[in-house]
Chains A and B, each alone.
Chain A
Amino acid sequence: MGGVGSTEPHRSDVPALPARRDSQQELLLGLADDELVIGWRDSEWTGIAPLLEEDVAFSSIAQNEIGHARALYELLGDDADALAFDRRPDEYRCAPLVELPLLEWAHTIARRWLYETADEIRITALLDDDDPGVAGLAAKINREEAYHRMHAEMWRERLADTPQFRAAVEELWPYALGVLPPEQRGALAARVGLEEADAFERGTHTDGLAELWEEMTMVRRSAPAGAQW
C-alpha cells in the first residue's frame, strides 16, 4: 500500500459511504465533492493569475471552498480527510464542470460565474432544510459565498461582451446544468439567460478528475498508514 504513484488509496480508512438511496446524503456528498474539486482547480491560479489581485482572490476563494467541503464531510462522517482523499476516482460524486482543467481566463471566469450561480440556487434551497445541522451549515456557507458571487459577477460584467467569454459560457453550459438536480435547472437557465439543454450529468467523470485525483491524493497515499500530521 501507499507510495507515490500508487493508485490504491488506504482502503481500510474509508468510512462507510452514505447509502445511495438516501437522496439527501447523496446531494450533500455531491455538494462537498464539488466544493473540494473546484477549490483545487481554483487554487491552480495561485501565483500565476494575470493580475496580482486575482492571485489573492483565487487563493482565498479556493481556501473557502475547501473549507466548505471539510465542514460538509464532517457532517457526513467522522473523518473528513478519509472522505476527501481515500476514495477511488469513480467514487467521487462531483459534477464534471468542476473537474475540467481550465487555465484560460475567459473559461475560468465563465466556470466561476456559472458555478456560483448554480451553487446559490441549491444552497438557498438548503437554508430551509428540516435538519438543523444542514440548514445551519448552509446559512454559514451562504454568507461566505456572497463574496464569491460578487467576484464572479464583477468579472462577468467586464467580460460579457467579449467573444472569448461568450464562447466559454456556451461551451460550459451543459456542464453547468449538471451541477443541479433536474428540478432546479429551470431556475439556472432563467438566471443565465440560456435554454435548458442536455446536461453532463453528475456520476460521470471527465479525464480531468483522474489527473487531479493523482495530484490531490498523492501526499496522503505516499504517507505510511497511521501517520500523524
Chain B
Amino acid sequence: MVTAQQVWNALDEIPDPEIPVISLVDLGVIRSVDVRDGHVHVELTPTFLGCPALEMMKHALEEKVSALGGEPEVQVIQDDSWSTDRITPAGREKLRAAGFAPPAPREASAPTLVQLQAKVHRCPYCGSTETRLENIFGPTPCRSLRYCESCRQPFEQFKTI
C-alpha cells in the first residue's frame, strides 16, 4: 500500500513545467497529500490563476500517483493559499543558481511600485542590490524583469504573490 511519504517523494521528482530547475514540491503548490485505502487525494494550489502550466501539473501528478499504484484524486484549490512564501528554502536556492531572483517575502498589504523600484532586490549572479526594474511583466505572469547595474546582467525576478 502506498504511503503519503512515498507520494511526497514522487511528487518532488516532478519539475515545474515552466521553470524545470525546481520541483512542484519546491514550488509549494502541493498543499496536502492524503492517502486512504489506496485513494490518493492531492490538493494543488495554482501559482497564478491564468497559469497555462496548471493542467500539465495536474496530469503529471496523476501519472506519478498512478505509477505508485494509487488512485489519484487531484483537487485544484482556488483560494489565496499559495504564496511565493511557500517556495521552500531549497527551491529558492535552486532558483538563484539558475539565474532567477527569488521573491521577496509577502507582506500584509499588496506590493507597490515603490517597493519594486527600491534597491533591495538582489542580483542572482553577483549579489549586488544595485538593480533596477526594467518591466513589471516578463516571460510568464510570475516574473518581472530587472537589470543589475553592478555586473550588467539582465535577470528575472519572481513576483511576490
Contact = CB atoms under 8 A, between A and B. Distances in A.
Interface of A: 53, 56-57, 59-61, 63-68, 70-71, 74-75, 132-133, 136-137, 139-144, 146-147, 149-151, 153-154
A154 B113 contact: yes
B37 interface: no
A168 to B, nearest CB: 22
B49 A146 contact: no
A154 to B, nearest CB: 6
Nearest to B49: A67
Given A64-B48, A144-B49, A150 B116 contact: yes
Interface of B: 48-52, 78-83, 110-113, 116, 134-141, 159, 161
Contacts of A65: 50
The secondary-structure label for the interface of chain B is: loop
Contacts of A132: 79
In order of increasing CB-CB distance, the 4 nearest A-B pairs are: A67-B50, A136-B79, A139-B80, A146-B110
Of the listed residues B111, B112, B136, the one surrounded by the most CB atoms of chain A closer than 10 A to its CB is B136
B49 A53 contact: no
A153 B78 contact: no
B135 A141 contact: no
B51 A56 contact: no
Contact of A56 (B111, B116, B139): B139
Contact of B80 (A56, A60, A140, A147): A140
